[in-house]
Structure 1
Amino acid sequence: MEQYIHALVLSDTHGNKGAIDAVLGQNRDVEYIFHLGDHIRDARYIDQNTRARVVCVKGNCDVGDAGNTEDTIVLMGQKILLAHGHLYKVKYSYDRLFYHARECAAAAALFGHTHRQYCEYEDGLWMVNPGSAGASHDGNICYATMLIGKMGVVPKLKTLKV
């Protein structure tokens, strides 16, 4: 039986600790949490309130905060690219980020910025936007989960109704 790493993907939390706590309460068993920016300081709050390893990147609202605007992590042999998305202009097209992730040989590109959920598999690459956990367009709390194993990654979009 293949072993998997369980991961939680959050973006655009915008300081909404109530939303963060709700998502963490529903996902206590995750081993990794990826925070894709727009209030990177929320990643520090998450780190203090969970046992999971937190990996984060800065977003366009994180000017002046310490941290990288992009990162990659390899888990179970799968390379995962983390970016907020604003530097790739994802509000207009996912193409720039897609081709960059392909050049990096990533299995998945995780991004935020648009506040809209998106999950699609194309040419061996998952493109995943968990939506906004803290400031979604419809007021719901949006996020994603991922199973990461030697055979690949399996993302799933999720929503908590408020």
Structure 2
Amino acid sequence: MDAIRLCLLADTHGILDPRIAAVAQGCDHVVHAGDIGSEAVLDECAAGTASVHGVRGNNDTAEKWRGDPAICARLPASIRLALPGGTLAVVHGDAWPARDRHRRLRAAYPDAAAVLYGHSHRLIVDDSARPWILNPGAAGRARTYGGPSCLLLSVSDSAWEIAVQRFAKA
């Protein structure tokens, strides 16, 4: 079986960097870890992909959402995606304090192969233990800390591989 490619992103706050949109179009799935900000971001993520999955971030509220507020209201707080070789758990991450977030995420999702979160806007790949803790950084314009970024996850029954995609600030 060929590997499945996922584009992991977060914290677009209504604007998806076009370079990340281009990366997403080459993937089988796009997974957004919250603070999406607009219906347009979801539409851009869906262009050319098999599916888009997303969770609600602390800024994904009816007052701040651009587009149909019913779409924002339907976003779950967390999801689990069954993938070849394991499960990817997805949350926004604002419920856990930064100082021990990774420990708490690992404790909350011990059966997952990886946990994807956003909120901090900081790109992190913590593969020091299972589950891996992944934060793709910010895929829009707000607080990108070095430029917009996302993660590419390739999964198969026998292996999971992660690659960082970071672009210069526009």
TM-score, normalised relative to structure 1: 0.86
1:148 matched to which residue of 2? Answer: 155
Quote the Cα distance in structure 2 between the aligned partners of 1:146 and 1:51. Answer: 14
Q: Which runs of 4+ in 1 moved over 6 A?
A: none
2:4 matched to which residue of 1? Answer: 5
The equivalent position to 1:31 in structure 2, one of 28, 31, 41, is 28
* Post-superposition offset of 1:121: 1.6
The equivalent position to 2:116 in structure 1, one of 110, 124, 134, is 110
2:66 matched to which residue of 1? Answer: none
* Post-superposition offset of 1:3: 1.9
* Post-superposition offset of 1:44: 2.5
Deviations 1:91-120 (A, max 9, x none): 232221121121xx0000000111101101
1:125 matched to which residue of 2? Answer: 131
Deviations 1:46-76 (A, max 9, x none): 3552333101001110124321110001011
Does the CA contact (< 8 Å) of 2:33 and 2:118 recur in 1? yes
* Post-superposition offset of 1:154: 1.3
Does the CA contact (< 8 Å) of 1:108 and 1:153 recur in 2? no
Quote the Cα distance in structure 2 between the aligned partners of 1:76 and 1:53. Answer: 16
**Structure 2 residue identity aligned to 1:76:** P
Distance 1:161 1:52, change over 3 A: farther
1:101 matched to which residue of 2? Answer: 109
Distance 1:40 1:53, change over 3 A: farther
* Post-superposition offset of 1:32: 0.5
Q: Secondary structure at the match of 1:146?
A: strand
The equivalent position to 1:50 in structure 2, one of 48, 52, 55, is 48
Q: Secondary structure at the match of 2:90?
A: strand
Q: Secondary structure at the match of 1:6?
A: strand
**Structure 2 residue identity aligned to 1:4:** A
Quote the Cα distance in structure 1 between the aligned partners of 2:143 and 2:115. Answer: 20
Q: Secondary structure at the match of 2:57?
A: coil
Quote the Cα distance in structure 2 between the aligned partners of 1:61 and 1:27. Answer: 22
Worse overlay, 123-132 or 134-143: 134-143
Q: Secondary structure at the match of 2:88?
A: strand
Quote the Cα distance in structure 1 between the aligned partners of 2:47 and 2:129. Answer: 37
Quote the Cα distance in structure 2 between the aligned partners of 1:9 and 1:122. Answer: 19
The answer for unaligned runs of 5 or more in structure 2 is 63-71
